[in-house]
Structure 1
Amino acid sequence: MTVQDLPKIELHLHLEGAAPPAFIRGLAKEKKIDISGIFDEKGAYKYKDFWDFLKVYEAATTVLQSPQDFYRLTRAVLEECVANQVIYAETFLAPDFCGGGDLIAWKDYLAAIEQAATEMRDETGIILKGIPTCVRHFGPDQAKKTAICASETASSFITGFGMGGDEAFGRQGDFTYAFDMAREAKLQLTSHAGEWGGPESVRDAIRDLGVTRIGHGVRAIEDDALIQEILEKDVVLEVCPGSNVALKVYKNLSDHPIAKLRERGVKVTVSTDDPPFFHTTMRKEFDDLSQTFDWDAQDFKALNQTALDAAFCDAATRAELKQKLELPDA
């Protein structure tokens, strides 16, 4: 068995960002919406840099207009996950794109997403959990609405709360109210930091928001004191190597700090972030890391174990996944 074929856990996956381009084009055609400008001549998503990527991402979501659209999207994304031997995934869900942050509308969208997840689990065995996520550049007041949506629908499916979006907007601490609300609802916490915001944004997320996981977090490698704090507080990084290279945070994978972070003892996991935007899959991530850093099946088993321990799921789910992750030697 090659490392590509190993079962995988993915903790950092945006539902809308995982939408296959063909799926989005099909919906646009059905709804007679012209978003042709966001695709290149080969039909892939097209953007110039991270901030243009955010605009293209939000343009793509404009065709997702109903709970039924999100039901279809969830099935399409999970089919891709299954094709890449992903057995468990956590997906970021944006109530802003599911009814504009309105709680009643959110519940309808969520029911459709959860229905698709339940059907796919029955059909394929894949397990999905949802992490409602505020969009940082939409501001703290809108984040409070997202936190209400998350808190009011906390369940065995909605298990966490997070923040994505433009790290250059404001500070992590501006969103303390939303994260405190989610914490009171017993949701587990993560936030994007240390991608564009530098190491200080990771420190702020840990100290100001009390998160146990960091989305990306790779720029922490630039600050030895921060590395020590991450180790002491047992914070896990949701690393997305292909995304970081595609968005030019690093020139190439050999320059990426994931191996150095592991060597320092930092707990890292591997995910795709927004896979079709970055021309990646979980199979490709595993293969590229194996080729670049000479990692073998035991390395990936260790990465999966870290992801399993950090997953926002219940004990029964963790036990079920542990059995499936008993990997043979390569």
Structure 2
Amino acid sequence: MTVADLPKIELHLHHEGAAPPAFIRQLAHEKRIDLSGIFKPDGSYDFRDFTHFLSVYESACKVLKTPEDFHRLTLAILEESAANGVVYSETFLSPDFCGGGDLAAWRDYLNAIQDAADEAERKFGITLRGVVTCVRHFGPEQAKISAHCAAETAGDWITGFGMGGNESVGAQSDYQWAFDCAREAGLRLTTHAGEFGGPESVRDAIRDLGVERVGHGVRAIEDPDLIRELVDREVTLEVCPGSNVVLGLFPNFDAHPIAKLRDAGVKVTVSTDDPPFFHTTMRREYEMLSKAFGWEAEDFAALNDTALAAAFCDEDTRARVKKRLERS
């Protein structure tokens, strides 16, 4: 068995961002929506930089209009993830894209997504849990609406709350109300930081919002004091190496700091972020990390142990996933 064939846990996956381009093109065709400007001639997503990526992402979401669309999308995502050896995944879901923040509509979308997840678990042996995310560049007031939706549907399936979007908009502390609301509802917390924001954005995330996980967080490598704080606070980083390379944070996998962060004692995990946008899969992430750093099966087993411990799921689910990892 190669490292690419190993079972995998993924904690950082944007639901709409995992939509295969062919799936979005098919929906656009069915709904007679012109999305030709967001694709390259080969059919893949076309974007210039991070800001343009966000624009293309939101354009692709325009065809996802109904709960049934998200049911179909969820099955497509989980079939692809399972084919790449993922046995447990957490996906970022935004009420902004699922009913526009209306609670009743959000429940309908969520029921459709959960139904698809249950079907995928039966068919493909992959378990999915949802992390509700607000979108940073939509602003703090819209984030409150997302947090309310999250709090009202918190439970065994919606288990976390976080924030994605453009890190250059506002400060982490601007969204404190939303995170406090989610925390009071019993949800676990994560937020994007330390991707295009520098190490100070990671410090703000863990101090101002009190998150236990940070999406990306790789710019922490620039600040030794911050690295020590991450270790002391036992914060887990949801690292997405392929995404970071495509978006230009680092020139290649060899230059990526995940190995240095891990060697310094920081808890790191591996995910794909928005896999079709960044031409990656979990198999490819494992292959490239093995090639860059010489990591072998035991290294990836340790990454999975870290990810399983950091997963926002109940203990029964954690035990079930652990058995899957041990059987493989």
Q: Shorter-chain-normalised TM-score: which range?
A: over 0.9
The residue number in structure 2 matching 1:163 is 163
The answer to whether structure 1 residue 264 and structure 2 residue 261 are counterparts is no
d(CA) in 1 for partners of 2:38, 2:252 = 25
Change (3 A) 1:89 1:5: same
d(CA) in 2 for partners of 1:262, 1:230 = 11
The answer to whether structure 1 residue 241 and structure 2 residue 241 are counterparts is yes
d(CA) in 1 for partners of 2:327, 2:112 = 34
User: Structure 2: which amino acid aligns with 1:95?
Assistant: P
Q: Alpha-carbon deviation of 1:218?
A: 0.2
The residue number in structure 2 matching 1:9 is 9
The residue number in structure 2 matching 1:254 is 254
Contact 1:130 1:160 in 2 (8 A): yes
The residue number in structure 2 matching 1:322 is 322
Contact 1:238 1:268 in 2 (8 A): yes
Q: Which runs of 5+ in 2 are unaligned?
A: none
Number of equivalences: 328
d(CA) in 1 for partners of 2:10, 2:60 = 23
d(CA) in 2 for partners of 1:215, 1:327 = 29
The answer to whether structure 1 residue 77 and structure 2 residue 103 are counterparts is no
Contact 1:205 1:211 in 2 (8 A): yes
Q: Alpha-carbon deviation of 1:125?
A: 1.6
3-state SS in 2 of match to 1:160: strand
d(CA) in 1 for partners of 2:198, 2:58 = 24
Q: Alpha-carbon deviation of 1:123?
A: 1.6
d(CA) in 2 for partners of 1:120, 1:3 = 24
d(CA) in 2 for partners of 1:294, 1:125 = 29
The residue number in structure 2 matching 1:302 is 302
Q: Which runs of 5+ in 1 are unaligned?
A: none
Q: Alpha-carbon deviation of 1:281?
A: 0.1
The residue number in structure 2 matching 1:120 is 120
The residue number in structure 2 matching 1:59 is 59
The residue number in structure 2 matching 1:39 is 39
The C-alpha deviation readout for 1:50-87, integer Å capped at 9, x for no partner, is: 00000000000000000000000000000101110100
Q: Alpha-carbon deviation of 1:323?
A: 1.4
Q: Percent identity at matched positions?
A: 67
Q: Alpha-carbon deviation of 1:327?
A: 6.8
d(CA) in 2 for partners of 1:50, 1:128 = 27
Contact 1:6 1:327 in 2 (8 A): no
- RMSD of the TM alignment (CA)? 0.7
d(CA) in 2 for partners of 1:151, 1:182 = 6
The answer to whether structure 1 residue 226 and structure 2 residue 226 are counterparts is yes
The C-alpha deviation readout for 1:121-160, integer Å capped at 9, x for no partner, is: 1122210000010000000000000000000000111000
3-state SS in 1 of match to 2:47: coil
The residue number in structure 2 matching 1:293 is 293
3-state SS in 2 of match to 1:159: strand
Q: Alpha-carbon deviation of 1:326?
A: 2.1
The C-alpha deviation readout for 1:239-258, integer Å capped at 9, x for no partner, is: 00000000001111111000
d(CA) in 2 for partners of 1:249, 1:2 = 28
d(CA) in 1 for partners of 2:154, 2:95 = 13
User: Structure 2: which amino acid aligns with 1:174?
Assistant: D
3-state SS in 2 of match to 1:119: helix
User: Structure 2: which amino acid aligns with 1:195?
Assistant: E
The C-alpha deviation readout for 1:258-284, integer Å capped at 9, x for no partner, is: 000011010000000000000000000
d(CA) in 2 for partners of 1:198, 1:250 = 14
3-state SS in 2 of match to 1:175: helix
Alignment of structure 1 residues 124-203 onto 2, 5 Å: 124-203=124-203
d(CA) in 2 for partners of 1:66, 1:142 = 21
3-state SS in 2 of match to 1:167: coil
The C-alpha deviation readout for 1:284-308, integer Å capped at 9, x for no partner, is: 0000000110000000000000000
Q: Alpha-carbon deviation of 1:320?
A: 1.0
d(CA) in 2 for partners of 1:196, 1:24 = 27
